[in-house]
Structure 1
Amino acid sequence: MSDNKKLKPGWKVWRFEQMATNVNVRIDNPSESGMEHYIGLEHLDADSLKIRRWGTPSDVEATKLMFKTGDIIFGRRRAYQRKLGVAEFDGICSAHAMVLRAKPDVVIPEFLPFFMQSDIFMNRAVEISVGSLSPTINWKTMAVQEFALPPIEEQLRIVGLLREIESNSDELISLVERCSSLIDAIFQYYVWSDESLTQKPISQIAEINPKVSSLTEDDPFIPMEAVDPWTQLIDPSRIEMKGQRGGVRAQGGDILMARITPCLENGKIAQVPVSIKKCGGSTEFIVFRAKDGTDQQFLYHLITSRVFHSQAAGTMSGSTGRQRASANDVGRIIVPILPLTKQIEICDQIKQISKIKEATNSRLLGLSQMKLAVLIGAGSE
């Protein structure tokens, strides 16, 4: 920012390198790091500072970065995904991230991650990213970017507001997670634990990678980035209009399940909106479509159930870090066969719980919008 007259009273412009230290401690042998936690970009949720998932150093190879409790892990690759989290433990993370530590003379450590969530920061991060397929931020470029910050007293006030919003959001997220656990418990009781049910390969109740009529350039294409973990819906803002690209083919209602590590383990499973007649998708998806006698919603819950998901992950093969499940192997997974009326009855029970989840997610959206309003003030220049 070149015109200091635009600054609010007490605000000051700083280079990012004056605000934060880039902690570049490299670990060449992750399994020998002595750490218990590994954070990849896939473990970071968009627009959330809390890290809820992680792997272990033995899961990965190649050089990684070390972080300490309180450090910010910021996804410098594909910054438009808005992925950053605050570490609550020591560990190592992907080299496609930056490990940042606030300089408290300029910005209090609790304020910096919130500021980095603001549009003023994220938009700048996207602007300075280089590369086409996987745009990435270079620290030297980020270091010289200038941002206006409020004085320490104002930072403390803003942090107080945002902490309250985050606390309420965490409680609602916990409720959503409990609803998901209850849905899985229902499936466990009525489906997986009923020894009287006939067992058959899932390929007998669902088409695997079914045929779809030819696509046009105007047909939508669903990339892996459009699917968040354990989310039935597909992010419409991530859908591309490149239907003729190579990959899988699907139609409205079909279920997409990631087949590559770590996307499969992390639960990237979604359902194509019924408004989409046909579409393309990443070659790393397996497509499921219910056959006659199988309810499509029941099939979705079956595939996302803990038992099926763990079996699908167990079929993966290949080199470390690039393991995949094949459609043929997944199609051979044995599942219980229920009458259609029973499937619908189970889905009706799940629907009631899903309504609570939807209402809770609506409240979460309201808090997110409130947080955005605060961040706009925190990031304005």
Structure 2
Amino acid sequence: MIRSAINKNAGSNIGNTMGGGALLRVNPNWARLPLFDRRGWTKARFGDVVENLNKTERNPAEAGLERFIGLEHLEPGSLHIRAWGSVADGTTFTRRCWPGQVLFGKRRAYQRKVAVAEFDAVVSGDIYVLTPKHNRFLPELLPFVCLSERFFQHAVGTSAGSLSPRTNWSSLAGFEFDLPPLDQQRRIAEILWAVDEVVEKNLKEKDANEALYAAAIQSFLFDKANPGIEIKNLCEINARALSETKTDPKFKFRYIDIGSIIAPKVIGDLQTYQFENAPSRARRCVQEGDLVISMVRPNLRAFARLENLDGDCVASTGFAVVTPRNNGFWNASLSCILFTSIHAAL
């Protein structure tokens, strides 16, 4: 779907044409192409080969646009857009995007929000709309450059602001990377999109399995025909907190804030603090296996299970912390029980 959107958009300024108008055709020797023979690669400045579009549509409804895309609609680490808003419900967004263009979230770049537009829309002002400037750089490869670790490190390193750090276009434009010749670009893009296709297939299977699991939980726990099991018998609320007077001011820990949950069940990068310099909300004691559930704006579904903790961690007082009781199967299943759509509705 994404690749067809890219190819559809490629007919304008980012098409499959090489210098002089010759069509970039399939290389019959791809199987023997030395992908990592870098002798033909050239150093490129991002802003020299990529354009940050600022096309606007002041009246998206009158222009026939039905959807808008905000930062909340972009999934961390995924190039696919699975959610959007309806223009009919009202929007203040005016920045225009077309199918095949790359959307990059400039606010809180550490959340790694990059996607490829698959439909016409307007997007948030905190989203850059990117497209190759000319045919030195294939549109099929651009999303993966934006998704690379080095690009994110550059974006985060050039962001300014404390609560909502943002990177700016002039800083992103200065990012330098090695650009392969066009035939290698196309082959590399083919490989990466093939990998993406496999990942997406696995994610769909995972979602199907989770839906089946949730249905089983509903049947076992919430069906009137079955005896009820109370959540309080499976877990306890952890109210332990750091003491203002008894905690060592030099105590060092990683802080789990509400904003650290970048997607349901997904914890992003954590900052390290000493107690004396930590936010006043950094008080909730947590341990391996705990479930943290945001009590602030629950519609955002900021919840996660704490696994593979590296050292001491402290959570925000905006979380409810649930500690499973040591009772085998239910201990492992508690997160699924609490995170089902049934519990969310409650």
When normalised by structure 2's length, the TM-score is 0.71
Matched, 1:246 2:288: no
SS at structure 1 position matched to 2:143: helix
Structure 2: distance between partners of 1:275 and 1:127? 25
* Partner residue in 1 for 2:241: 212
Structure 2: distance between partners of 1:278 and 1:142? 35
CA-to-partner distance for each residue in 1:259-305, whole Å, 9 max, x for gaps? Answer: 445xx445432123486897432354333345899955454222201
1:38 equivalent among 49, 54, 68: 68
1:256 equivalent among 256, 271, 292: 292
Structure 1: distance between partners of 2:320 and 2:67? 29
- 5+ residue gaps in structure 2? 1-36
- Between stretches 84-93 and 218-227, larger displacement belongs to 218-227
* Partner residue in 1 for 2:151: 121
* Partner residue in 1 for 2:107: 77
Q: Which has the higher helix share?
A: 1
- Between stretches 138-147 and 174-183, larger displacement belongs to 138-147
* Partner residue in 1 for 2:126: 96
Q: Map residues 259-338 of structure 1 onto 2, 5 A cutoff.
A: 259-261=295-297, 264-265=298-299, 267-273=301-307, 279-289=313-323, 296-311=331-346
Assess if the C-alpha contact under 8 Å between 1:12 and 1:150 holds in 2.
yes
Letter in 2 for 1:41: L
Structure 1: distance between partners of 2:185 and 2:52? 21
CA-to-partner distance for each residue in 1:108-143, whole Å, 9 max, x for gaps? Answer: 111111122223322322232222333211123333
Question: What is the number of equivalent residue pairs in this alignment?
Answer: 300
* Partner residue in 2 for 1:185: 215
SS at structure 2 position matched to 1:9: helix
Q: Give the 3 Å change call, closer, same or farther, for CA 58–267 of structure 1 in structure 2.
A: farther
Assess if the C-alpha contact under 8 Å between 1:103 and 1:109 holds in 2.
no
CA-to-partner distance for each residue in 1:65-84, whole Å, 9 max, x for gaps? Answer: 33221111101122233220
- Aligned-pair identity in percent equals 30
SS at structure 2 position matched to 1:173: helix
Q: CA deviation at 1:19?
A: 1.8
* Partner residue in 2 for 1:17: 47
Q: CA deviation at 1:167?
A: 1.5
SS at structure 2 position matched to 1:136: coil
* Partner residue in 2 for 1:53: 83
Q: CA deviation at 1:64?
A: 5.2
Q: Give the 3 Å change call, closer, same or farther, for CA 109–12 of structure 1 in structure 2.
A: same
Q: Map residues 359-370 of structure 1 onto 2, 5 A cutoff.
A: none
* Partner residue in 2 for 1:108: 138
* Partner residue in 2 for 1:138: 168
- 5+ residue gaps in structure 1? 1-6, 312-381
Structure 1: distance between partners of 2:300 and 2:262? 9
1:229 equivalent among 263, 271, 277: 263
Q: Give the 3 Å change call, closer, same or farther, for CA 218–142 of structure 1 in structure 2.
A: closer
* Partner residue in 1 for 2:202: 172
Letter in 1 for 2:241: V
Assess if the C-alpha contact under 8 Å between 1:249 and 1:278 holds in 2.
no
Structure 2: distance between partners of 1:293 and 1:143? 54
Structure 2: distance between partners of 1:282 and 1:63? 32
Structure 1: distance between partners of 2:191 and 2:307? 37
Assess if the C-alpha contact under 8 Å between 1:35 and 1:91 holds in 2.
yes
Q: CA deviation at 1:178?
A: 1.5
Structure 1: distance between partners of 2:242 and 2:310? 13
Structure 2: distance between partners of 1:240 and 1:211? 20
Letter in 1 for 2:342: V
* Partner residue in 2 for 1:336: none
- Between stretches 289-298 and 59-68, larger displacement belongs to 289-298
SS at structure 2 position matched to 1:133: coil
